[in-house]
């Protein structure tokens, strides 16, 4: 995002959009002074289309230092990513002040902490689509290393004296979730097959914005299978592979993001 416009104009444009693209154009703008201006929530016209293989790798956090190189633009990323525009001329010469890089690191780590993600959920525009060249002037592997280091420490403003959380990570059975997804939609309203397992999955889908929280009731009904089909599509599955019946890889990816493990 160009800094030539001035910070106020940049933030205003990201909030309002322009003739060809309505706002918000991102969720936040990080200006050169290190301030984070929140301008949107929910879906924002930020990521645009990119490579579905990249999205799958980011969701599963299954890559090394860099995600797979984008080769195609076949997937809408606006529903899948938080987006932050960072004030810079984008020419590779305009400097990135330390306070701005620190703000990028902190925002990224805060979002990852909130969702239980690692630094591999943090990518740049140019890593998502071959139509973008930003950021220029710093490298995303370096930024991910900074985020990972911050995630490895307690939040700096944590003054709590409570004991560490020792709540065990819940484990759910893939077989039980599949059984619920196959039986509950055809059963009477409110029927539950494996309520606890289904509810854990439903709460994760709700956190992803795919299921209304009201329906996280332990019944893996039609609304839940529809939501899970949307999750499978986010993971890169299509057609019969995105039928709303959980599979091992997609369920493990959901669990990795929302704090549960999957057994057979």
Domain ranges of the chain: 7-151, 171-263
CB-facing half-sphere around the CA of 52: CA atoms within 13 A: 11
For residues 236 and 52, the answer to whether their CB atoms sit within 8 Å is yes
Polymer length in residues for the chain: 264
Measured in degrees and rounded to the nearest 5, phi and psi for residue 26 equal -175, 180
pLDDT of 3 over the 80 cut: no
Instruction: Say whether pTM exceeds 0.75.
Output: no
pLDDT of 58 over the 50 cut: yes
For residues 255 and 262, the answer to whether their CB atoms sit within 8 Å is yes
Q: What percent of the chain has pLDDT over 90?
A: 75
Q: How confident is the model over 179-232, as pLDDT tens digits?
A: 999 999 999 888 999 999 999 999 999 888 899 988 999 999 999 999 999 999
Mean pLDDT lowest among 167-171, 245-249, 250-254: 167-171
Confidence tier at 159 by pLDDT (50, 70, 90):
very low
pLDDT of 1 over the 60 cut: no
- How close are the terminal C-alpha atoms of the chain, in Å? 47
- The topology under which CATH files domain 7-151 is Lysozyme-like (3.40.80)
Q: Whole-angstrom Cα distance, residue 172 to residue 255?
A: 9
């Amino acid at each position: 995002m160009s800094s030539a416009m001035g910070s106020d104009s940049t933030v205003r444009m990201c909030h309002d959009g322009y003739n060809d693209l309505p706002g918000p154009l991102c969720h936040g703008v990080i200006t050169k002074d290190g301030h984070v201006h929140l301008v949107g929530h929910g879906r924002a016209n930020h990521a645009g289309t990119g490579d579905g293989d990249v999205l799958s790798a980011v969701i599963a956090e299954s890559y090394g230092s860099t995600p797979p190189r984008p080769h195609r633009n076949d997937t809408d990323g606006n529903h899948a990513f938080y987006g932050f525009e960072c004030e810079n001329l984008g020419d590779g010469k305009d400097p990135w002040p330390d306070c701005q890089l620190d703000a990028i690191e902190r925002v990224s780590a805060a979002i990852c902490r909130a969702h239980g993600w690692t630094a591999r959920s943090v990518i740049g525009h140019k890593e998502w689509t071959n139509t973008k060249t930003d950021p220029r002037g710093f490298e995303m592997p370096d930024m991910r290393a900074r985020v990972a280091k911050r995630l490895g420490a307690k939040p700096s403003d944590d003054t709590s004296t409570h004991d560490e959380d020792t709540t065990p990570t819940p484990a759910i059975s893939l077989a039980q979730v599949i059984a619920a997804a196959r039986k509950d939609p055809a059963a009477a309203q409110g029927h539950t097959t494996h309520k606890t397992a289904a509810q854990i999955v439903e709460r994760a889908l709700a956190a992803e914005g795919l299921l209304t929280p009201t329906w996280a009731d332990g019944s893996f009904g039609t609304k839940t299978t529809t939501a899970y089909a949307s999750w499978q599509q986010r993971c890169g599955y299509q057609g019969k592979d995105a039928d709303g019946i959980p599979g091992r890889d997609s369920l493990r990816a959901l669990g990795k993001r929302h704090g549960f493990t999957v057994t057979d």
